[in-house]
Structure 1
Amino acid sequence: MNDHEAILRSVPLFDGIRPDEWERMLGCLGAVHRRYPAGEFILMAGQPADRVGVLLEGRAQVLREEFSGARTILTALAPGDLFAEAFACASGGGRTLPVSVLATSDCRVLLIDYRKIITSCPSACDFHARLVRNMLAVLADKNLLLNRRLRHLSKRTTREKLLSYLSEEAAAHGGGEFDIPFDRQGLADYLCVERSAMSAALSKLREEGLLETRRSHFRLLRPRDREDAELF
């Protein structure tokens, strides 16, 4: 607990848990720590959807792999992010995962048996009700995130999808300069577009003076920004 206490306290699922409850709660939930090297699957499609994970260290992606071999990135995970909770809740832990979770760097995760979250233990631990309320809030927030992604994907062109996503990231970071959690292929997979088409759209935006980018770092430029940049 001590090594990752700050991260765990930031996880919405554990909101309102008192300091004296942590050790007992994690024991009651059967929480286990696991390490995964970059490139290894933390969870795989087809496995039982009975575990909820918290990323403690590293980076990971939730993705769907088609029969054809095509891969779609559903979301990128950073330390403190919860994953697989929606599938566990939807199936009550009784179905299989339709997606996989891939470690994109060396990772450490906390895995929890979903059924132990929603079922009070014999010792009548009083934090289970809070965990259930918190889980409902987490699912509501995840639904809003999904709706935002659908808004990007509903755009007609690759250019419009890019601008929709990058504009939202700029707003989330409080300014026009920010980093995204994807490389070029990852961004193309996330937006469900061909990488070549996306690269062409990015080049066009740069030529028009609307965008500056280097790897995963982006800067959106408004007309006034471009005029100021030309003075230096």
Structure 2
Amino acid sequence: MKNKWYEVLESSLLFSDMSKENILNMVACLNPKEKSYTKGEIVAHLGEKMEGFGLLLQGSLSVLKENIDGNRLIMNILKPGELFGEMAVYSEKRVWPATISAVESSIVLFIKPEKIVAGCERACSYHQQLTTNMLKILSDKAMSLNKQVEYLSIKGMREKLCTYIWEQHKKQGSLLIHLPMKRNEMADFLNVSRPSMSRELCKMRDEGLIDFYLSTVKIVDPQQIAEYVK
């Protein structure tokens, strides 16, 4: 494992509360497999057998699913340091629950689940911290999935946009927010058409609710935005 990945590993929740030395030793103990992908390349197919879960080192990945109408939905955009497949890999079937695609050139570490829960050959004192971190990650992910179901159930275009914008405002702590997705990715994520979404954003701007430029959105009337959020 290259030391140049240390900052990314340190930012990952999997290695929370661990020193640099412990992180590098822990990675050596996990013996992960490093793989590189080009833009647009499929990292994992829905229903494909899993060998391990992934940790993104470089680039970005999209998590894709199709709804009952056959429309593609972007469930998430993964950034360096984030995990994917960590819930499904511990299930009985152990298959990928979604298709993972490289948004740009990306590098991924694949870790076998047994390495997390099984006893460490080196009897690492910090392995227990790693296991604790994974349990926290799985618990938080289960809670967020419940929220995502509620989010996808929102029917109105404006309600969806306001909810998304308001959630980004709360995450970033500012009325001037940076959208983490491109317009087409955001439309897929919200399960709406891009032209309709663009028209609604323009209406919201004309009505004085927001202003925007490229991927930056300014909440002009937070009270009105909040009223659309359920």
* TM-score clears 0.5: yes
2:213 paired residue number: 214
Distance 1:4 1:149 in 2: 31
Partner SS for 1:134:
helix
Deviation per CA, 1:61-81: give whole Å up to 9, x if none.
111145865211111111111
Deviation per CA, 1:127-151: give whole Å up to 9, x if none.
3322221111112222333334334
2:226 paired residue number: none
1:109 paired residue number: 108
Q: Which runs of 5+ in 2 are unaligned?
A: 224-230
Q: Is the 8 A contact 2:46 2:98 kept in 1?
A: yes
Deviation per CA, 1:158-204: give whole Å up to 9, x if none.
11011011011012111111111212221111112232332222121
Distance 1:3 1:44 in 2: 29
Q: Which amino acid aligns with 1:214?
A: Y
Q: Which amino acid aligns with 1:124?
A: A
Distance 2:75 2:19 in 1: 33
Aligned pairs for 1:6-17 (under 5 A) are: 6-17=7-18
1:75 paired residue number: 76
TM-score (norm 2): 0.86
- In structure 2, relative to structure 1, the CA distance for the partners of 1:126 and 1:143 (3 Å cut) is same
Distance 1:65 1:27 in 2: 37
Matched, 1:49 2:27: no
Q: Which runs of 5+ in 1 are unaligned?
A: 225-232
Identity of aligned residues (%): 34
1:62 paired residue number: 63
1:147 paired residue number: 146
TM-score (norm 1): 0.86
Matched, 1:189 2:188: yes
Coordinate RMSD, CA, aligned: 2.2
Partner SS for 2:87:
helix
Residue 21 (structure 1) shift: 2.9
- In structure 2, relative to structure 1, the CA distance for the partners of 1:162 and 1:17 (3 Å cut) is same
Deviation per CA, 1:76-114: give whole Å up to 9, x if none.
11111111111113x15x421120111101112222111
Distance 1:97 1:154 in 2: 24
Distance 1:157 1:135 in 2: 36
Deviation per CA, 1:7-26: give whole Å up to 9, x if none.
10111111233433334322
1:230 paired residue number: none
Distance 1:130 1:21 in 2: 10
Matched, 1:121 2:120: yes
Deviation per CA, 1:25-53: give whole Å up to 9, x if none.
22221212221111112222222234121
Q: Is the 8 A contact 2:6 2:20 kept in 1?
A: no
Q: Which amino acid aligns with 1:146?
A: L
Partner SS for 1:85:
coil
Distance 1:76 1:149 in 2: 14
Q: Which amino acid aligns with 2:186?
A: L
Partner SS for 1:53:
strand
Q: Is the 8 A contact 1:55 1:109 kept in 2?
A: yes
